[in-house]
Amino acid sequence: MSRLHTRRQFIRTASATSALVAGGELAFFSGLPRVSAKDAALDTKAIHFSDAIDPLIRLLENTPRDRLLEEVGGRVRNGLSYQQLLAALLLAGVRNIQPRPVGFKFHAVLVVNSAHLASIASPEADRWLPIFWALDQFKSSQAQDEREGDWTMSPANELKLPPSHKARQAFIEAMDNWDEPAADSAITALARTAGANELFELFCRYGARDFRDIGHKAIYVANSWRTLQAIGWQHCEPVLRSLAYGLLDRRGDSNPAKSDQPADRPWRRNAELAKKIRADWPHGKPDRAATREVLDTLRTANADEACDKVVELLNREVAPQSIWDALFDAAGELLMRRPGIVSLHAVTSTNALHFAFQQSANDETRRLLLLQNAAFLPLFRGDLNAAKDLRIDEFSPAEIKKTATPSLPEIFDEIGRDRMSAARKVLAYLGAGESPEEFIQAARRTVFLKGRDSHDYKFSSAVLEDYAQISPAWRDRFLAASVFQLRGSGGPDNAVVQRTRAALSV
């Protein structure tokens, strides 16, 4: 699985444009360069996909970055579906980009679901923009991967696969022992025989068990599973192999199964702490004061103290929703206090862990996901002395002028100049009864036009989704805090927007 090899024959810039020739498309391809048998030959060292999707994946892999959007645009005009393109984009990333670390260049894979969420939540006129942006991002990451060794997912070792009735236990043992070859063989067998929900239950635990890669492991679990729901479970095997390989990244640490590393301690402690939570913990009562207790705790507590507070409140019959309200807003507060890449991931990992919490049907797993999120937030916090003294539950809305509340153009213009002022204006805007949906759509469209980094999509899709997951008393402040990372209206549009519109024009 981890073998590196060069794909010089596999990556041929002239070969891809003929890969989809069939039927009525022949006229469109008649002016394109011919493809020799040598150019079209498959690399036997790389995993293969089905005949139905592999030609499109190879098109994405082989077409140069400066031509890809135009090539795909032509196929969209000729009937290529959104679902087909989404599937090819995910699988091309899985085959070509090493999921270690689970971040950096691998964002080309992580961002696929975020782009998809942005697409389906957008007006029809904008719906292709996020996916075409993600196509361009894939080509950038593919080039970086080639410079760093040209990793490619190799075929599974069919001789090492456990029998179907032993695959689940073999996978658990391999993941618990951080055994990469055994995990790859086991998940290959399990992907062919187990159902989606069973596999998700396994993966969401392993995605949350350690803090390496600052939450990206949980993000990869959530985003890959969600994308598979959109493109079809028939594509799961290579995605789950990539996911297992990524989750076993230990960033140079000795084997955690045989050592005591800081990144693994919260999970081990929480596995015992979860047993102390009362049996009917999901049925507590909402409590705004308890939400404030958790917020106050997370400002100074270490991971153990944060988890102890959560257990205390659950055993006081506080509803889990009141604790999640605090976790969401605490992540937003970190973004206010220390804007940047680390705090951003406090928000996106909370989104992923909460999604897993909602989807899991296992009581123990749900307890652990809640506790792990509480443990992770202090780890994201960093040096308190270097952070601004801002509190998400205390900052005041902007004063409303007699003429009108702050307008959306005014807010998004202010983001580029003074984010705290913009946050206060958002709070005033929402407090005056203006539409949060209009703000969310404006924020999303601004990312389409101005976004230049995968985190623009990852963050915006997470935070705009999570607004609806938070209780009404707390959600407006969370949305206001989001402007510390959202794009403002200043600056030029990114070039991908113009290229996409040109590529799709008739």
Burial 355-393 (b: 16+ CB within 10 A, else e): bbbebbeeeebbbbbbbbbbbbbbbbbeeeeebeebebe
* Residue 472, both tokens: 């009404």
Q: Where are the domains of the chain?
A: 16-95+114-147, 158-247, 262-386, 395-506
| Whole-number pLDDT of residue 39 | 37
Helices (H) and strands (E) in the chain, counts: 24, 0
| Whole-number pLDDT of residue 46 | 81
Q: CB of 458 within 8 A of CB of 381?
A: no
* Residue numbers of the chain with a pLDDT score lower than 70: 1-44, 402-403, 506
Q: What is the pTM of this model?
A: 0.90
| Whole-number pLDDT of residue 465 | 97
Select from 469, 448, 487, 411 the least CA-distant residue to 123: 448
For 190-239, the DSSP string reads HHTTS-HHHHHHHHHHHHTS--GGGGHHHHHHHHHHHHHHHH-GGGHHHH
Q: CB of 471 within 8 A of CB of 325?
A: yes
Measure the CA–CA gap between 56 and 88, rounded to whole angstroms. 6
Measure the CA–CA gap between 398 and 422, rounded to whole angstroms. 9
Backbone angles phi, psi at 484, to 5 degrees: -70, -10
Would you tell me how many other CB atoms lie within 10 Å of the CB of residue 54? 16
Measure the CA–CA gap between 120 and 116, rounded to whole angstroms. 6
| Whole-number pLDDT of residue 125 | 87
| Whole-number pLDDT of residue 1 | 53
For 145-179, the DSSP string reads HHHTT-B-PPPP-GGGPPPHHHHHHHHHHHHHTT-
Q: Is 453 helix (H, G, I), strand (E, B) or coil?
A: coil
Measure the CA–CA gap between 81 and 87, rounded to whole angstroms. 10
Measure the CA–CA gap between 293 and 43, rounded to whole angstroms. 58
